[in-house]
């Protein structure tokens, strides 16, 4: 005996569709959606030899070296309005037997300081380089508005003393993590 189960199966399926729950859709909720991307970018990197802290022509120490980097990511108005937080990570490796002070100044187009921070890098040797913990600077709240006014960052590396016999290298690698919230604007 053959039984045709197609008709009863369709009836059951149709009944389930008819009596299933459907949530009312509120299309106004779509306006409240915000994207929250996280963007990681390299910021500054350098490898400075100890010989750069001494001018052999004039036989005088150079106690401050400066490196300037443009930060074009913050130029965009929508990025400036969407930025919630920025995390700066600076990683040093020092094989020069001197302690360094490194200042980071974020400058506007008019070269005014909008935000600044600094750290100390301990002395190391060529045999045992100093690798201090990563220096992490978190910028949020009211400081975000100051940071977004900058279009370049200047790193000033200060050494207490230098001579012609100084050896080793100071290495810096850094990155920035930007946390954004992008909403529909009216």
User: CB–CB of 47/94 below 8 Å?
Assistant: no
This prediction's pTM: 0.78
Query: What pLDDT sits at residue 77?
Result: 82
Torsion sign (Cα): 141, 143, 146, 148: negative
- Which residues, at least 6 apart from 186, have a Cβ–Cβ distance to it below 8 Å? none
Domain positions in the chain: 33-183
- pLDDT for residue 65 is more than 80: yes
Q: What is the dihedral of CA 156, 160, 165, 171, to 10 degrees?
A: -40
Q: Which two tokens stand for residue 73?
A: 């990511």
CATH topology of domain 33-183: Jelly Rolls (2.60.120)
* Per-residue pLDDT tens digits for 118-174: 999 999 999 999 999 999 999 999 999 899 899 999 999 999 999 999 999 999 999
Please state, for a pLDDT cut of 90, what percent of the chain lies above it.
Answer: 67
Q: Which two tokens stand for residue 47?
A: 């490898």
- Among 171, 137, 132, which residue's Cα sits nearest to residue 45? 171
Quick one: residue 158, left, alpha or beta (phi over 0 = left, psi -120 to 50 = alpha)? beta
CA distance 135 to 112: 24
């Amino acid at each position: 005996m053959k039984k045709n189960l197609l008709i009863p199966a369709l009836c059951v399926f149709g009944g389930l569709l008819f009596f299933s729950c459907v949530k009312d859709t509120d299309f106004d909720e779509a306006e409240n959606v915000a994207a929250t991307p996280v963007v990681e970018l390299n910021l500054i990197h350098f490898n400075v030899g100890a010989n750069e802290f001494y001018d052999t022509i004039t036989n005088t120490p150079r106690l401050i070296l400066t490196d300037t980097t443009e930060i074009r990511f913050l130029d965009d108005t929508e990025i400036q309005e969407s930025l919630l937080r920025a995390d700066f990570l600076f990683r040093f490796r020092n094989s020069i037997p001197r302690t360094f002070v490194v200042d980071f100044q974020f400058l506007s187009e008019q070269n005014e300081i909008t935000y600044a921070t600094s750290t100390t890098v301990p002395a190391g040797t060529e045999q045992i380089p100093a690798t201090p913990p990563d220096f992490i600077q978190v910028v949020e709240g009211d400081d975000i508005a100051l940071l977004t006014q900058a279009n370049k960052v200047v790193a000033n590396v200060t050494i207490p003393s230098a001579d012609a016999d100084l050896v080793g290298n100071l290495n810096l690698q850094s990155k920035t993590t930007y946390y954004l919230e992008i909403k529909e604007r009216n």
